[in-house]
Amino acid sequence: MKVSVLTWGCQLNQHRSEEIEGVLAREGYSFVDQPEDADVVVFNTCMVRGKAEEKVAGRLAQLAGVRRHGRPLLGVGGCMAQGRGTEVFRVCPGADFVFGTGNLAELPSLINRALAGERPVSLPKPGRDGEPLPMRRRSPTQAYVAVSDGCSHACAYCVVPFVRGPLRSRPLLDINEELLALAAEGYKEVTLLGQNVDAYGVDRSGASLFPELLRCAAEVGIPRVRFTSSHPAYISSAVLEVMADESAICEHLHLAVQSGSDAVLRAMGRGHTRAQLDETLRMARRHIPGINLTTDVIVGFPGETEADFEETMELLEEGKFGTVYAAVYSPRPHTRAAQQHDDVPRSVKRQRLEDVLCLARRTGLACHERYVGQSQEVLVEGYLPSKDLYYGKTRDFRTVLFPGKPAMMGAFVAVHVTEARSGGMRGFVEEAVG
């Protein structure tokens, strides 16, 4: 049988889809890119924002409308399924089966039950991890390695602790074995993943063991090591010292600030202040000059005043972030903030979002203009047929587009930057470097 796996959400979800495909590959399934060509379509979903759920429902309705003779079967899994439960069948009436975030090994059985005419649902409470799952990695050169699952921080707006369970850090020995295997297979880049990746080990020892993990990852022989996503409450000078000391650790730090207002940060339950954010940003730049700092921001959180928003804009202006991922607040079920009155008008939220994006475009352009005329090491990731250009990332996670050849895929190339744009850069390849 042919399967197509559709993924929404974060890099952890992208990695989870590799596990979904690994479980199904073990059972003899093959894979197709176009869901219309599949016998089974698996939706690996996100519910961090309402818009992600709307996209899932829309795509599923579209596929349900064109299927013939009961194919493809449509299965909904991941965070939206875990959070909504059997309500998924109301939101997505074309769904044939539902599974959660922690029971991927059951997927073949659920598909067989759906083929037999059932509409099975399996949503065990997240929080217990079973045996490691097989994996069908989607890239021969770049790999994700999950170092933990779940989150115990419980920010007021975030549904992740409910749908993923509390923080559960993997044993360091297991992670090291996976990294060594990737190095032996010739992988050129690895990204360490966790909801709060820098909180790694807090559940095991009461303190973050992330500096130890990061140094271990830097020593296995993989040329580039990245990590995401970081929480400001756990980024320490020890983490930054490892980043500065180890040449394999890329000069990029994604630090989700969410707001620049102390009042909003308290209401969000973030566990840090604006002053601490400012000091962390200064500390990062002291340890790693030229580091690319990127961030997440939520606008329109309940109670956010115009003065609060101006403090966020001030933080973004002073922080000079290379990229800002901004979103309008939307109430999420099973969160504390959902109990509050959503009192910021929709029109105000939209305007604040546009203000943030406008500032982010201006800041991004200014950051990228500094690279014009320079040569940058780029790992070639893909090809854009619409532009007839290849693309890749610099060490500090900036996107570069350039003319190239298929043989460059997965290779390091030196690109001479000729043009800066707010979202990245353009240039031409000077030479292949590995």
Are residues 179 and 229 located together in one domain of the fold? yes
CA 5 – CA 272 distance, rounded (Å): 38
Per-residue model confidence as pLDDT tens digits over 181-193 = 999 999 999 999 9
Sign of the C-alpha dihedral computed for residues 358, 359, 362 and 364 taken in this order: negative
What is the spatial distance between Cα 44 and Cα 274, in angstroms, rounded to a whole number?
35
> Of 91, 122, 153, which one is at a domain's C-terminal end?
122
What pTM was estimated for this model as a whole?
A: 0.96
**Domain boundaries, position 118:** 2-122
CATH number at residue 325: 3.80.30.20
pLDDT band at 377 (very low <50, low <70, confident <90, very high): very high
The length of the chain in residues reads 434
pLDDT in tens, 126-136: 877 667 899 99
> 321 and 336: one domain?
yes
Tell me how far apart the alpha carbons of residues 200 and 172 are, in angstroms, rounded to a whole number.
10
Alpha-carbon gap, residue 118 to 376, rounded angstroms: 55
Is residue 328 domain-shared with residue 411, that is, in the same domain?
no
Q: Is residue 135 part of a domain?
A: no
The total number of structural domains that make up the chain: 3
Tell me, yes or no, whether 128 lies in a domain.
no
**Six-digit token string for 155:** 């920010």
pLDDT digits (tens, 9 = 90+) for 132-179: 899 999 999 999 999 999 999 989 999 999 999 999 999 999 999 999
Note whether residue 333 is domain-resident: yes
- Asked if residue 229 has a cis previous peptide bond (ω within 30° of 0), the answer is yes
Q: What is the pLDDT of residue 138?
A: 94
Helix boundaries (H) for 341-421: 346-369
Rounded to 5°, the CA angle 43-193-379 comes to 95
Quick one: residue 240, left, alpha or beta (phi over 0 = left, psi -120 to 50 = alpha)?
Answer: alpha
| Positions of E strands within 229-275 | 252-254
Q: How far is CA 270 from CA 100, 151, 196, 387, 410, in A?
A: 27, 13, 12, 41, 38
Q: Residue 68's pLDDT band (boundaries 50, 70, 90)?
A: confident
Residue 129 lies in a domain: no
Any idea what the CATH number is for the domain that residue 428 is in?
2.40.50.140
Same domain, 255 and 340: yes
Rounded to 5 degrees, φ, ψ at 69 are: 55, 35
